Amino acid sequence: MASPFREINWKIMIPVMLFVVFQSAFNSFSSVLSDIQARFPEASATTVQMVLTFPSIMSIPISLLAGILASYITKKRLVLFALGAEFIGGMLPLFYHESIYTLFISSGFIGIGQGFMISCSTAILAENFEGTARGAAMGLKQVASSLGIMGLTILTGRLSTIAWYKAYYVYLITLLLIVLVVIFLPKGKTDDRLLGKGVGLSGLKTIFNPSTVYLFILFFFLGACNFAFYTNIGMSVTTKGLGNASVIGMATAWNPVSTVAIGFLYGYILKLFKKYTLMVATIVLSTAFTVLTFAPSISIIVLGGIIYGVGAGLQQASALYYVTEAVPKTATALTISIAMMMTSLGITFSPVVINGITRGLGNTVNGTSGLTIAAIAYGIFFILELVREGLFNKESRIGMN
């Protein structure tokens, strides 16, 4: 099997892999929250936690705005703006850290940067790569993001031992990334104008074609069911009496490792399964949640966590890749923004969806019930994908050069 990496332009891929690390870099600040809580004892625990989640909340509307602006401004300039916003956000607490509200302003700038990067990083890959090379590039982006978060988590932890606010020094790296993007990333093109005066309904028809409408709805439920792992695994382990937080940590610790491994191999996996790759992800995740549901011991819990990591890695890479193949190159930025928004909404409302179905079936919410619902749901997604790809998507070029 020929390597899909042979077709990748590394002059484009390397700067993308570097700046994509800051697409979710603020997640690495979770280790600093306790220090922030100690510095601002008058603030509630929820307020302190919101410092960490605020960028993610902001990134939902901002990523949609980025998709619209991609019709007027090149994605390279949007990335440079995003890095600049994150630099400003990262520097604010270094100069003034006497008020927790400064941290929220900082998180706001970081959220703006993250929102632009979410849309632009994948759109740049879709603009510059085709077929399996695009799939391999998506996988490498996933690898870079996962490894970057691991590295930044260690770095922020070390810096915070000097003083909690010095963890923000990691955002100095964005200056180097700005230079690399200016030098190496091609100027690129603006997307087609899909919204606005004179466009009419043609733009909306391009985005909301039968394939994307199906994917948008699917991504909402994939996001809700995928996140059920994090919201239910701890409760399930505790309810079964299988262990404490350390056991839960063992179940989740393999996820980044599995995600990185799948990212490296995704180009090959895509060449092997082609349009059925997302279907494979759903059956792997259904298997993972089934194993976790009936797990009688710690070792089986860990096994289920490993299987989950493989399925989640496949789902994450496939979801974005499928969207880029469903619309023309010049419509990818806005389409990706909508897809990511639907996924984010699914994650946000995951407890509502999963627990609502659990109660609707007359069951008690106890963690294991949520894992069961997710296992069944992914089984249904598997059937949907099998029928769709086998009967209604026969002309698909997914996974082909």
Rounded to an integer, the average pLDDT of 224-233 is 86
- Report pLDDT for 104: 92
The answer on pLDDT for 306 being more than 80 is yes
Q: Rounded to an integer, what is the distance from CA 95 to the centroid of its chain?
A: 31
Using one digit for the tens of pLDDT, what is the confidence trace for 238-257?
888 876 656 666 666 677 77
Neighbour tally for 170: CB within 10 Å: 21
Rounded to an integer, the average pLDDT of 379-392 is 93
- Report pLDDT for 253: 67
The answer on pLDDT for 289 being more than 80 is yes
How far apart CA 175 and CA 87 sit, in angstroms, is 7
Rounded to an integer, the average pLDDT of 298-315 is 90
Contacts of 121 (CB under 8 A, 6+ apart): 16, 19, 20, 23, 79, 141
Tokens of 331: 């419509």
Rg of the chain's alpha carbons, rounded to an integer? 21
Range name among 2-11, 111-120, 149-158, 355-364 with the lowest pLDDT average: 2-11
How far apart CA 204 and CA 223 sit, in angstroms, is 24
Neighbour tally for 78: CB within 10 Å: 24
Q: Rounded to an integer, what is the distance from CA 314 to the centroid of its chain?
A: 12
- E strands in 224-357: none
The answer on pLDDT for 103 being more than 70 is yes
The pLDDT confidence band at residue 172, using thresholds 50, 70 and 90, is very high
How far apart CA 55 and CA 90 sit, in angstroms, is 12
The pLDDT confidence band at residue 319, using thresholds 50, 70 and 90, is confident
The answer on pLDDT for 328 being more than 90 is no
The pLDDT confidence band at residue 237, using thresholds 50, 70 and 90, is confident
Rounded to an integer, the average pLDDT of 12-29 is 87
**CA nearest 25: which of 168, 224, 176, 178?**
168
The pLDDT confidence band at residue 218, using thresholds 50, 70 and 90, is very high
Q: Which helix (H) or strand (E) holds 305?
A: helix 298-326
- Report pLDDT for 83: 96
Rounded to an integer, the average pLDDT of 134-153 is 87
